[in-house]
Structure 1
């Protein structure tokens, strides 16, 4: 083989590899992330053995919960921006800084209350003794996982 044939073959192989990578990242990877994000929903539905009407109630509950959490997260982001803007001032106003940090604590508290209420709502969907017992087991698992560090933090 002469150099031109080797070079042409190499270019063709590289093009095929690049196209494969593009397909992988555009088609296959997003599916994995979607399934990962929905993983906890699927686990709850499976562990609690929800029927179709319960699944529908659960989906409605989740949507309301997500909307509520997004509002709190948006407020947290805005408050953090205001807090760290204090650093750009010649003199940091300690009252403002303390006030913003207090607001952040209150917002985080509201998120925890919303999550707690969300799980109380899931408990209300359970309508058989078996589901209630499964929910108890699920909350025990949840309580153990709450203190664990997130293995897949948002980036």
Structure 2
């Protein structure tokens, strides 16, 4: 074969490979939950919630967010007070321990509130949706986690 014929065949093969890759990517977008979509969309679509359930879910979500924000605010204040103690040559370690204890108690409350929130969510599901909930709860938990921190550069 001539060199020109080989190059032409190579270009055609690469073009077809690109088309196949693009087609695959476009086709895959419509299947299954996206890996980094928010937990709300994952819950609504994954559990196949109807309109009334979506409204109930939004009420539960807002209640949960309010509770979490209250605790986050107190945790932030405790953390700031803890760092302020380091501005002295001999920080009050009793106060430092108390602030850390407060922070940890609030963290525990947040975990319990989140657990109860998902209990309430499961309770508004119909039996067939509860089966979906049971299989999706791991994905929902991962979607709620902050992204992992990469190595510092």
TM-score range for the pair, normalised by the shorter chain length:
0.5 to 0.7
| Aligned counterpart in structure 2 of residue 134 of structure 1, from 132, 135, 142 | 132
5 Å-filtered alignment, 1:97-112, equals 97-112=96-111
Which residue number in structure 1 is paired with residue 60 of structure 2? 61
Conservation of the 8 A alpha-carbon contact between 2:43 and 2:140: no
RMSD over aligned CA atoms reads 2.5
Structure 1 segments unaligned to the other structure (5+ residues): 1-36
Kindly report which structure 2 residues correspond to 1:72-91, keeping only aligned pairs within 5 A, or say none: 72-91=71-90
Consecutive unaligned residues of structure 2, counting only runs of 5 or more, are 1-35
Q: TM-score, normalised by structure 1?
A: 0.67
C-alpha displacement of 1:89 = 1.8
**Residue 140 of structure 1: how far off its partner (Å):** 3.6
Tell whether the 8 Å contact from 2:57 to 2:121 is kept in structure 1 after alignment.
Answer: yes
Once the two structures are superposed, residues 71-124 of structure 1 have per-residue CA deviations (whole angstroms, 9 ceiling, x without a partner) of 000000000011111001231111111111111110110111111111111101
Indicate conservation of the 8 Å contact 2:39/2:140, yes or no: no
What SS does the corresponding residue of 1:139 show, helix, strand or coil? helix
Shift of 1:38: 7.3
| Aligned counterpart, 1:45 | 44
Pairing partner for 2:147 from 141, 147, 150:
150
Number of aligned residues: 115
Runs of 4+ in structure 1 off by over 4 angstroms are none
Structure with the larger helix share: 1
Measure the CA separation in 1 of the matches of 2:69 and 2:37: 17
Q: Which has the higher contact order (CA 8 A, sep 6+)?
A: 2
Contact 2:47-2:133 at 8 Å conserved across structures: yes
